[in-house]
């Protein structure tokens, strides 16, 4: 295993870690400090009273876009010798998801502008406009889960085929990808399905943490080789 490929693996892991950290802090924590479901007035008050936090949230969303775009490129560099088409799918699906989150960042930025300039609000009022923008941002995250799931499936398949990391990791990523896709549909097919949708993403979360840690700490298995001849990968 060349030092260059191992270095690429570690860089990929670090970029994926950056994606995980910015996503967790930005969407799970900062958003929760600002957005209050069903209470537009509270959301507006939070934006006005905690403008620096709102700006940090926007920066973190841009960080998600940046790290996912770069991770998509580095995953392609890492796996292109195994299967160019599948590696390309990781890059394409990752870029699409990054673009969706870019739209979410724009919504958050617009919401902050509206909170500071009431003339930008639609006839429903400033609070309603801000709330609508946050709701749209949330839906962008939900529908983006479709492409996040799609990027995990070829990633898992390449992990299995390359034998560079444990086979179980690849299988978990593929299951997680399917779970993410299903969670997107479940969110809209069933009312109040947040718990069900969240449970469907658990395998993906475990797989992501595993691959991030493995790539950063171990790089790649020294004895493994890409399966160029299309033969079945060993466990």
Name the residue among 47, 26, 29 with its Cα closest to residue 131.
47
- Terminal-to-terminal C-alpha distance of the chain: 18
Cα Dmax for the chain:
65
Name the residue among 34, 62, 36 with its Cα closest to residue 48.
34
**Cα–Cα distance for residue pair 109/59, rounded to 1 Å:** 10
pLDDT of residue 228: 45
Which range of residues forms the domain containing residue 200? Answer: 3-217
pLDDT of residue 194: 86
pLDDT of residue 5: 86
Residue 63 included in any domain? yes
Residue 116 included in any domain? yes
Residue 123 included in any domain? yes
For residues 57 and 29, is the Cβ–Cβ distance under 8 A? no
pLDDT tens digits along 163-174: 999 999 999 999
Residue 193 included in any domain? yes
Q: How many CB atoms lie within 10 A of CB 202?
A: 12
Q: How far is CA 194 from CA 55, 140, 191, 226, in A?
A: 27, 15, 8, 40
Residue 224 included in any domain? no
Residue 167 included in any domain? yes
Q: How far is CA 72 from CA 36, 105, 181, 191, 209, in A?
A: 33, 19, 18, 33, 16
pLDDT tens digits along 43-91: 999 999 999 999 999 999 999 999 999 999 999 999 999 999 999 999 9
Q: How many CB atoms lie within 10 A of CB 101?
A: 27
Residue 225 included in any domain? no
pLDDT of residue 229: 42
Domain count, the chain: 1
Confidence tier at 224 by pLDDT (50, 70, 90): low
Residue 29 included in any domain? yes
């Amino acid at each position: 295993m060349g030092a260059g490929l191992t270095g690429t693996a570690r860089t990929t892991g670090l970029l994926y870690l950056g994606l995980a950290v910015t996503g967790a802090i930005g969407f799970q924590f900062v958003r929760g400090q600002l957005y209050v479901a069903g209470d537009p007035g509270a959301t507006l008050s939070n934006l006005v009273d905690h403008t620096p936090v709102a700006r940090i949230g926007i920066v973190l969303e841009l960080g998600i876009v940046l790290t996912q775009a770069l991770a998509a490129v580095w995953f392609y560099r890492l796996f292109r010798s195994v299967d160019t088409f599948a590696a390309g799918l990781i890059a394409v699906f990752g870029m699409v998801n990054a673009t969706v989150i870019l739209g979410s960042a724009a919504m958050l930025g617009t919401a902050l502008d509206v909170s500071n300039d009431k003339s930008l609000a639609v006839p429903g009022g400033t609070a309603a406009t801000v709330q609508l923008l946050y709701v749209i941002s949330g839906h962008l995250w939900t529908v983006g889960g479709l492409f996040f799931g799609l990027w995990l499936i070829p990633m898992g398949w390449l992990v299995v085929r390359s034998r560079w990391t444990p086979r179980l990791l690849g299988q978990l990523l593929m299951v997680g990808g399917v779970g993410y896709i299903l969670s997107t549909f479940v969110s809209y097919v069933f009312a109040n399905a947040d718990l069900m949708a969240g449970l469907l993403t658990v395998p993906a979360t475990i797989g992501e943490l595993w691959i991030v840690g493995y790539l950063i700490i171990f790089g790649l298995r020294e004895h493994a080789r890409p399966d160029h001849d299309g033969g079945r990968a060993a466990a």
